[in-house]
């Protein structure tokens, strides 16, 4: 039987503007309107006569976040350069050095066209203002910010909602760490709590790869009519997109203010010296998953969440049942409940560093248990834990044994 493919029927009065179907969806649209408008934007919301734009909604926002082997990566510091502040309104912005070189080539070409009055400098002058790029380890700061909040939230929910499972007895950092590790065993955290998984998530903006940048805009991501009114309806925008393409960059069809270095375009291939994608990633990016640094980031995040707890909830309350015995000829027993509060103990960075160094082997085993919890590979890991302990006894360096542990827990 012939397969019948369903197709959404659009209204007869769909607006057309040359090579584009106008979508008027935004955050105020109803559910039905939003569905129809998103469909219109998907099938014809970007000009067909322009070079094809990236569609990360379709492919996933993994560009520059994984190498060709599927490993999570992060840009090396030496691969990033600071953008001249004349392009950033004085803000500190970093880009991949080759993307920045491509942009400067594009800038010199457009600057000449403006000088010769080939383009109206009053329209899209924002193309000369890079409003967003990499923050130079900005993803690390964002990781700490998001994950410490998630840890605190997870602990609070368990203490308040499931107090029969986990009781707040964290009067010091070691006890606090035990509570957090208990949450891992209870599978209360998603895999995004790990640095490499966080990098792949929506929390980590694609511009942090250094391979893309955004020009100044007031248009919201979900404002399809704004994309038409502020970008696609202007012929000059088409010329800018074409010039970007000629200089090795492609625009994002869902965010026309974002431009991305395209490894498949000839100017880019020439700029990077003919390297393959994997060769380029190995030269300019570090593998983020399974590293000692990733384990240290998680422990740091737990430590920072403890510092937040000291600020937000410095007091810890304990309830005890007190038994008193009075002797006056006869023995008399009385029971009473007693509640008292005391301050959690501070824990300095130096104390934390000494704690981690002293207890590294134990922490590695606990890390392995946590990895198995978030990846959910197996129910019984006793044999693997024994294997890891044997590797530790052999005196392997920390980086090697952590990578071995990670690979065992995620892939084996």
pLDDT for 285 beyond 50: yes
pLDDT of residue 273: 97
Of the chain, the end-to-end C-alpha distance in Å amounts to 43
What's the pLDDT band for 167 if we cut at 50, 70, 90? low
The average pLDDT across 173-183 equals: 93
In this prediction, what percent of the chain has a pLDDT beyond 70?
A: 77
Q: Bigger pLDDT: 166 or 234?
A: 234
Q: What is the pLDDT of residues 182-199, one digit of tens each?
A: 999 889 899 999 999 999
The average pLDDT across 283-294 equals: 96
* Closest of 210, 244, 24 to residue 128, by C-alpha: 244
The average pLDDT across 385-391 equals: 95
The average pLDDT across 167-184 equals: 89
pLDDT of residue 169: 81
Number of C-beta neighbours around residue 200 at 10 A: 19
pLDDT for 293 beyond 90: yes
Q: Which residue is associated with the tokens 């007091």?
A: 315
DSSP state, residue 237: H
pLDDT of residue 123: 58
State the angle between helix axes of 97-115 and 235-246 in degrees (0 to 180), rounded to the nearest 10.
130
The average pLDDT across 110-125 equals: 67
Indicate the SS3 state at residue 40: helix
Q: What is the pLDDT of residues 209-230, one digit of tens each?
A: 999 999 988 899 888 888 888 8
pLDDT for 352 beyond 60: yes
The mean predicted confidence, pLDDT, of the chain is 83
Q: What is the pLDDT of residues 74-83, one digit of tens each?
A: 999 999 999 9
Q: Where are the alpha helices (DSSP H) in 30-137?
A: 31-44, 56-59, 97-115
């Amino acid at each position: 039987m012939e397969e019948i493919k369903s197709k959404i029927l659009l209204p007869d009065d769909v607006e057309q503007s040359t090579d584009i179907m106008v979508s008027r969806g935004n955050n105020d649209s109803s559910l039905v309107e939003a569905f129809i408008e998103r469909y219109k934007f998907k099938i014809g919301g970007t000009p067909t006569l322009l070079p094809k734009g990236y569609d990360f909604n379709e492919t996933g926002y993994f560009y520059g976040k994984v190498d060709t082997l599927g490993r999570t990566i992060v840009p090396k510091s030496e691969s990033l350069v600071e953008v001249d502040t004349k392009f950033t309104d004085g803000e500190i912005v970093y880009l991949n050095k080759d993307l920045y070189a491509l942009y400067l080539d594009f800038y010199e070409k457009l600057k000449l066209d403006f000088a010769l009055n080939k383009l109206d400098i009053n329209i899209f002058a924002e193309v000369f203002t890079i409003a967003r790029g990499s923050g130079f380890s900005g993803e690390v700061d964002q990781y700490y910010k998001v994950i410490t909040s998630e840890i605190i939230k997870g602990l609070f929910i368990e203490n308040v909602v499931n107090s029969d499972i986990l009781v707040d007895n964290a009067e010091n950092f070691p006890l606090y760490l035990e509570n957090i590790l208990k949450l891992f065993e209870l599978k209360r955290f998603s895999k995004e709590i790990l640095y490499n998984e966080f990098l792949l998530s929506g929390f980590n903006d694609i511009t942090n790869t250094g391979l893309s940048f955004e020009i100044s805009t007031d248009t919201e991501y979900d404002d399809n009519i704004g994309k038409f009114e502020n970008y696609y309806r202007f012929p000059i925008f088409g010329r800018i997109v074409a010039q970007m393409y000629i200089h090795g960059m492609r625009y994002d069809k869902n965010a026309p203010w974002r431009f991305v270095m395209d490894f498949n375009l000839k100017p880019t291939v020439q700029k990077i010296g003919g390297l393959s994608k994997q060769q380029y990633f190995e030269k300019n990016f570090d593998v983020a998953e399974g590293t000692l640094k990733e384990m240290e980031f998680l422990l740091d995040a737990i430590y920072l969440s403890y510092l937040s707890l000291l600020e937000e909830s410095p007091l810890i309350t304990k309830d005890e049942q007190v038994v008193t015995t009075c002797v006056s000829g006869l023995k008399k027993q009385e029971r009473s409940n007693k509640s008292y509060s005391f301050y959690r103990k501070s824990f300095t960075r130096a104390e934390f560093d000494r704690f981690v160094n002293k207890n590294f082997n134990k922490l590695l085993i606990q890390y392995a248990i946590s990895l198995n919890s978030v990846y959910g590979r197996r129910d019984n890991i006793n044999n693997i834990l024994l294997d890891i302990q044997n590797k530790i006894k052999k005196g392997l360096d920390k980086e090697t044994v952590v990578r071995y542990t990670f690979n065992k827990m995620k892939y084996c």
